[in-house]
Amino acid sequence: MKHRLFLFDLDDTLLDFKASERLSFQHALAALGVAALPAGLFERYQAINLALWGDFEAGTVGKDVLKVERFRRTFHGAGLDLDAHAASGLYLEALADSVVLVDGARELCAALAAIGEVGIITNGVAQIQQRRIASAGLREHLSFVATSEGCGHAKPDVRFFQHTVGMARAFRHAETVIVGDRLDADILGANRFGIDSVWFNPDGAVNGGAARPTWEVARLRNVTRTLGLTTHA
């Protein structure tokens, strides 16, 4: 049976989060008086941020804490006397406007919306994600946006996916597929919920974990062919 409900991760699947993240980090620190980033500072931030998001998805840290703590730890480790709360606000404001689309994202959403229903599934900050979706020109192709904040649980928790499909016009396990870049959140979540998944893996990473994607693609333009769908886009 062909798929009719398409659930997309947002960051690093439809939107190039890595590019937006660097631009927003640079903007925040420039606003705080740091004209040139110290060597390795952004990479330090990325590692701290990734670890904290892992804690959030495990339910051991709240999102409000995460948003500030990642800057506090980064500044403390680098010996920088900067306001972590201010940095967090500046970063999030910049992130909402620093939108870079992954190649083929808008075209794919439009094509799938013409044959079924497209929804976004994200653990990101809800208000910022909504603004980024609008800035990217994706909203017209979407039926809904499911966020961890709106649900109270994060991917890969099954309760997140139960919340998500409750937002859809129609849901059947056999007709639903998740497309995402993260094995530990998107693909593992699909496995636990009993639905198909497409691992978006543009860098050719090796899957060494427990998650098992139904399919794997390196480019978004390959998704419709991989799913055996006929579109008019």
Active-site residue list: 9, 11
Question: Strand, coil or helix: what is 147?
Answer: strand
Residue type, 232: H
Are β-strands 5-9 and 117-122 bridged in parallel, bridged antiparallel, or unpaired?
parallel
Phi-psi region of 104 (alpha: psi -120 to 50; beta: other; left: phi over 0): left
For residue 118, give every residue at least 6 positions away whose Cβ sits within 8 Å of its Cβ, in sequence order, or none.
6, 8, 109, 112, 141, 142, 143
Question: Strand, coil or helix: what is 176?
Answer: strand
| Distance separating alpha carbons of residues 93 and 103, to the nearest angstrom | 24
Question: Strand, coil or helix: what is 127?
Answer: helix
Would you list the DSSP string of 20-87? HHHHHHHHHHHHTT--SPPTTHHHHHHHHHHHHHHHHHTTSS-HHHHHHHHHHHHHHHHT----HHHH
Give the 3-state DSSP-derived string for 13-32, with helices as H, strands as E and coil as C: CCECHHHHHHHHHHHHHHHC
Partnered with residue 145 across adjacent β-strands are 120
| Distance separating alpha carbons of residues 70 and 85, to the nearest angstrom | 10
